[in-house]
């Protein structure tokens, strides 16, 4: 237990340059408090002490702003940056070395029973405000861009952006864990650029057709005038 707690603290120093001391991290990082509270709540849940599990979960939610269902399975070195507004559903499964930013929802899409929340594999990163919904899988070393809404499976080593989320495959290469929120691919903007290019091409073709038609009409008029003069 103490080894896992130390890992939870160390990962904050690895991921957050603002962390300065163990004393500061232990006392002031709400994401860390939420994870530790969840480990207690999950232990109660596994022993079928459901009320105590939910009580610990709700107390943690009140103080940290992070809501994690006691039944959710979370791996080692899980890092919640800032934490406020994070929601993790009952059947969610999270691997090791996963990073989640504020405002992230790992939720369901309805009232279906059974596995209805996402599975997040090792080393995945989910950026600010992203929503990952349904019984889907986010692959290892994948990144979900800020504000994205993901409703389909994400392959390993991929970047997803947009609403709905669209995959930008990285050709099997490892995706760096440092996510630059200001420099993500934008599939919507890319599509607009493609449409603009297509529109420009069509305009050029129409101009060429009009030019050809005008030249043809001029030649017809020219031939008609020559015919009149010959008569």
Range 188-213 average pLDDT: 81
Residue with tokens 């010959």: 230
Phi-psi label, residue 35: left if phi above 0, alpha if psi -120 to 50, beta otherwise: alpha
For the chain, the residue count is 231
Range 133-137 average pLDDT: 89
Question: Can you give the pLDDT at residue 221?
Answer: 60
* Burial of residue 9 (number of CB atoms within 10 Å: 0-12, 13-18, 19+): middle
Range 39-43 average pLDDT: 92
β 99-100/143-144 pair status: unpaired
Question: Can you give the pLDDT at residue 52?
Answer: 93
Element (H, E) at 149: strand 149-150
More confident residue, 183 or 210: 210
**Phi and psi dihedrals of 37, rounded to 5?**
-65, -35
Angle at 114 between CA 150 and CA 60, to 5 degrees: 70
Question: Can you give the pLDDT at residue 177?
Answer: 47
List the structure tokens of 54: 């939910």
Question: Can you give the pLDDT at residue 198?
Answer: 87
Question: Can you give the pLDDT at residue 171?
Answer: 54
Question: Can you give the pLDDT at residue 219?
Answer: 66
pLDDT, tens digit, 9 for 90 and up, residues 77-112: 898 888 788 899 889 999 898 999 988 999 887 777
Q: Is the pLDDT of residue 226 over 90?
A: no
Q: Name the nearest CA neighbour of 30 among 88, 74, 80, 100.
A: 80
More confident residue, 12 or 230: 12
Lowest mean pLDDT among 1-15, 44-58, 177-191, 213-227: 177-191
Contact of 7 with 42, CB cutoff 8 Å:
no
| C-alpha span between 221 and 228 (Å, rounded) | 11
CATH class for the domain made up of 2-185: mainly beta
For a pLDDT cut of 90, what percent of the chain falls above it?
20
| C-alpha span between 66 and 57 (Å, rounded) | 9
More confident residue, 74 or 8: 74
Q: Is the pLDDT of residue 28 over 60?
A: yes
Q: Is the pLDDT of residue 182 over 60?
A: no
| C-alpha span between 13 and 21 (Å, rounded) | 9
Q: Is the pLDDT of residue 173 over 60?
A: no
CA 143 → CA 20, 90, 125, distances in Å?
A: 27, 22, 5
List the structure tokens of 207: 């101009």
More confident residue, 181 or 188: 188
Residue-wise over 68-91: b if at least 16 C-beta within 10 A, else e? bbbbbebeebbbbbbbeebbbbeb
Question: Can you give the pLDDT at residue 187?
Answer: 65
Average pLDDT of the chain to the nearest whole number:
82
């Amino acid at each position: 237990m103490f080894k896992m707690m130390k890992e939870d603290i160390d990962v904050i120093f690895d991921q957050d340059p603002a962390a300065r001391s163990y004393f500061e991290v232990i006392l002031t990082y709400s994401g860390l408090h939420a994870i530790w509270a969840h480990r207690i709540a999950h232990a109660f849940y596994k022993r079928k002490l459901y009320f105590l599990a939910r009580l610990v979960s709700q107390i943690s939610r009140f103080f940290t702003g992070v809501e994690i269902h006691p039944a959710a399975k979370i791996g080692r070195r899980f890092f919640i940056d800032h934490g406020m507004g994070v929601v993790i559903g009952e059947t969610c499964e999270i691997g090791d070395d996963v990073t989640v930013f504020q405002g992230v929802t790992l939720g369901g899409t309805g009232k279906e029973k059974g596995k209805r929340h996402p599975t997040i594999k090792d080393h995945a990163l989910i950026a600010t405000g992203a929503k990952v919904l349904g019984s889907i899988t986010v692959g290892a070393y994948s990144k979900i861009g800020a504000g994205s809404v993901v409703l389909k499976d994400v392959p390993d080593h991929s970047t997803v952006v947009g609403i709905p989320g669209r995959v930008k495959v990285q050709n099997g290469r490892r995706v760096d864990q440092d996510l630059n929120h200001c420099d993500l691919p934008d599939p919507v903007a890319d599509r607009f650029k493609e449409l603009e290019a297509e529109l420009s091409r069509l305009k050029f073709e129409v101009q060429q057709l009009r030019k050809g038609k005008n030249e043809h009409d001029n030649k017809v008029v020219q031939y008609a005038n020559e015919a009149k003069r010959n008569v």
